[in-house]
Amino acid sequence: MKFEELKEQVEKCNHCHEKFGFLPHPVFWGDKDSKIMQISQAPSNTVHEKMKPFTDMSGKTLKYDWYQISDEEFYDTRNFFIGAMAHCYPGKDSRGNDKAPPKVCFDKWILKEVELVNNEVYIIIGAKAAKAFFPNKSFEELVFNNQEINNKLAIVLPHPSPLNKKWLRDHPKFMEERIVEVRNIIKNVIRSQK
């Protein structure tokens, strides 16, 4: 399958319509030659409405505080392929939390995207996404050490959600040291000529 064909199929996908109880809106952002492939959990309701990834509070933290890059750099598809374990917002559970992304999306789309995108670096965001790629490692081990996917550098980050403040408080070295290393890697990659 070619990249453009995959993109077209993802954007038309409504596989989870009955499961969600509302019309899914697959969010697809990236190019086959994006330098960084970023994979998180699933779009938020805000992203579902705006159809642009990380346009919520998590996005502000990720782009401006952690990466310290502009929207122009982040949304430039030459720089970032912005994917997720599910391309669609999965809705809320009975407690008002976002539902887990359906595994079918990861199996059906994300693994193909990982094969087809000619990236230099992977960034995996959040414990659920990290477990899918690295099922036998602890989350702390993944976050504080560089990993590999397809023989390329893979970086694992905690989710930048406001709900994740406890993890960040419990792991102060993430903000003091690790995110500085990650930020430098990202800036070097996006500002280099591919």
Kindly report the CATH number assigned to the domain that includes residue 79.
3.40.470.10
User: What six digits make up the tokens of 10?
Assistant: 């993802």
In the chain, the number of structural domains is 1
Q: What is the pLDDT of residues 95-145, one digit of tens each?
A: 878 888 888 888 889 999 999 999 999 999 999 999 999 999 999 999 999
Of residues 79, 103, 102, 105, the one with CA closest to residue 6: 105
Of residues 150, 143, 149, 153, the one with CA closest to residue 121: 153
Q: What is the mean pLDDT of residues 138-164?
A: 96
pTM equals 0.93
Q: What is the mean pLDDT of residues 47-66?
A: 91
What pLDDT does residue 81 have?
Answer: 98
Rounded to whole angstroms, how far apart are CA atoms 107 and 85? 9
Phi, psi (deg, nearest 5) at residue 153: -60, 130
Name which residue leads in pLDDT, 94 or 69.
Answer: 69
Lowest mean per-residue pLDDT among 78-82, 104-108, 122-126, 175-179: 104-108
In Å, what is the CA distance from 156 to each residue of 4, 18, 23, 118, 187?
Answer: 27, 33, 31, 19, 16
pLDDT for 176 beyond 90:
yes
Print the domain residue range for 122.
3-190
In Å, what is the CA distance from 148 to each residue of 28, 31, 106, 189?
Answer: 24, 21, 19, 16
The answer to whether 56 and 160 have CB atoms below 8 angstroms apart is no
Token pair 């965001």 in the structure block, residue: 125
Of residues 4, 9, 66, 6, the one with CA closest to residue 38: 66
Element (H, E) at 38: strand 36-40
Rounded to whole angstroms, how far apart are CA atoms 63 and 69? 6
Q: What is the residue-averaged pLDDT of the chain?
A: 93
In Å, what is the CA distance from 176 to each residue of 3, 69, 190?
Answer: 38, 18, 23
What are the helix and strand counts (H, E) for the chain?
12, 5
pLDDT for 194 beyond 70:
no
